[in-house]
């Protein structure tokens, strides 16, 4: 197990694509996978009926909140008494998650370091299914059995900002901190959260050897990763103190506090992404305006070269560029399409890996170009990569038009 790597959370994982028969088993009362000797890498040789606490999650691109159930798995050898043969089986109970499973869905069984198990079912051909495969390093699942990776292989997967987003999506709590900076943050900010712009400035100041003029794509990722770790460090301290104080019997107060924590996390990531990107543009001498009003009170994240040129009907529309910025897309990418009528082909910058082919095909049809930091391009198919832009290329396009 290595801190900052996938093995910090999983001692082993197994993935497979559900066949029609297996999907029926998952939904039916039989609830067993037979002939699963490959899972011995996760659970070992069965001795009696071994129960494991399990968390079940069903994920789809269309719902913001996953379906979550708590339960257990039972691992046993149906031929334990046989002198030479064994037949291992994995049993799981009926849950809301099992009721959602269908042919073609991705099934993940992950053995956690605390001995519990995470079971994830992701909708067939969805972005989130692609992301789970990418996170755990499974390029394809063409054979019918489980594909299994042990802890030693997870030791090779270093967690970066994009992979942390996926871990959040599948319900894995992360506690990586930067304790060396906690006293500095408390001295500077006290026990409160500063504005996102101030915090982004602080995060960049803690890495003094990065210049976006050298590699805009890599620097943007590094700044985002650093801010995420610093924020979690400060959040853990502030939220922890509030929880120690307690809420007595104030259930509404506790729920409001919990909701504020979740909302702060979501809104902060998007603002941080824009803040760091703005610093890249400033350093590279790119002219822009941020969140200025266009038609119908829309506020695109960035307009190039400026809102004045955009509002000037004499300024050639082919020299205008509009960029939407979303750390993750899901179906929200369509919001960008109506934010600047004078710009026919729009651009969207995201940190989301492995968006499905169906989604990117629709983006192309809607004349939306996808921009991602170079390091994330490898999570897409070869056909998709030919269409993607990186940040360096996008900056070159904008500066050429200016």
Q: How many CA atoms lie within 13 A of 84 on its CB side?
A: 0
321 near 301, Cβ under 8 Å? no
Cα–Cα distance for residue pair 254/161, rounded to 1 Å: 29
Please list the residues that pair with 71 across neighbouring strands.
Answer: 54
Taking residue 399's Cβ as centre, other Cβ atoms within 10 Å add up to 15
Please list the residues that pair with 51 across neighbouring strands.
Answer: 74
Cα–Cα distance for residue pair 39/35, rounded to 1 Å: 9
How would you label 263-295 residue by residue, b for 16+ Cβ within 10 Å and e otherwise?
eeeeebbebbbbbbbbbbbeebebebebebebe
Residue 101 is classified by DSSP as -
Helix (H, G, I), strand (E, B) or coil at 170: coil
Cα–Cα distance for residue pair 159/157, rounded to 1 Å: 6
Residue of 58, 76, 288, 310 with catalytic role: 310
Residue 122 is classified by DSSP as E
- Helix, strand, coil percentages (3-state) for the chain, rounded to 5, are 45, 20, 35
Rg (CA), the chain: 24
Helix (H, G, I), strand (E, B) or coil at 263: helix
Helix (H, G, I), strand (E, B) or coil at 2: coil
Cα–Cα distance for residue pair 357/335, rounded to 1 Å: 19
387 near 362, Cβ under 8 Å? no
Q: Is 91 marked active-site?
A: no
Tokens at residue 13, please?
Answer: 């994982």
Tokens at residue 35, please?
Answer: 């002939």
Q: Is 88 exposed, middle or buried (0-12, 13-18, 19+ CB in 10 A)?
A: buried
Torsion angle of C-alpha atoms 240, 165, 350, 204, degrees rounded to 10: 50
**Residues annotated as part of the active site:** 310
């Amino acid at each position: 197990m290595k801190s900052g790597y996938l093995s910090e959370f999983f001692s082993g994982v197994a993935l497979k694509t559900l066949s029609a028969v297996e999907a029926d088993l998952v939904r039916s009362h039989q609830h067993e996978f037979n002939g699963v000797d490959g899972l011995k890498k996760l659970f070992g040789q069965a001795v009696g009926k071994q129960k494991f606490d399990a968390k079940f999650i069903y994920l789809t691109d269309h719902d913001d909140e996953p379906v979550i159930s708590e339960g257990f798995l039972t691992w046993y050898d149906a031929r334990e008494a046989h002198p030479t043969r064994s037949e291992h089986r994995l049993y799981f109970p009926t849950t809301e998650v099992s009721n959602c499973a269908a042919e073609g869905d991705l099934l993940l069984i992950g053995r956690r370091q605390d001995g519990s198990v995470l079971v994830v079912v992701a909708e067939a051909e969805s972005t989130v299914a692609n992301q789970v495969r990418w996170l755990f390093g499974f390029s394809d699942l063409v054979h019918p059995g489980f594909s299994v990776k042990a802890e030693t292989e997870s030791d090779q997967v270093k967690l970066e900002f994009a992979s942390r987003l996926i871990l959040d999506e599948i319900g894995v709590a992360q506690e990586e901190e930067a304790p060396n900076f906690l006293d500095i943050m408390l001295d500077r900010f006290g026990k409160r959260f500063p504005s996102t712009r101030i915090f982004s400035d602080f995060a960049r100041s803690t890495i003094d050897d990065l210049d976006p003029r050298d590699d805009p794509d890599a620097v943007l990722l590094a700044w985002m990763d650093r801010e995420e770790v610093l924020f979690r460090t400060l959040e853990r301290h502030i939220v922890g103190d509030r929880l120690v104080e307690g809420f007595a019997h104030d259930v509404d107060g506790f729920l409001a506090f919990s909701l504020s924590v979740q909302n702060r996390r979501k809104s902060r990531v998007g603002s941080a992404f824009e803040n760091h990107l703005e610093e890249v543009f400033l350093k590279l001498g790119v002219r822009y305006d941020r969140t200025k009003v266009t038609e119908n009170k829309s506020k695109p994240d960035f307009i190039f070269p400026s809102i004045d040129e955009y509002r000037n009907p004499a300024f050639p529309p082919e020299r205008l560029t509009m960029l939407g910025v979303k750390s993750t897309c899901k179906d929200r990418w369509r919001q960008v399409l109506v934010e600047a009528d004078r710009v026919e082909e729009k651009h969207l910058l995201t940190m989301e890996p492995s968006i499905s082919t169906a989604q990117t095909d629709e983006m192309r049809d809607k004349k939306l170009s996808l921009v991602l930091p170079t390091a994330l391009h490898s999570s897409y198919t070869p056909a998709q990569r030919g269409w993607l832009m990186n940040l360096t290329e996008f900056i070159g396009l904008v500066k050429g038009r200016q």
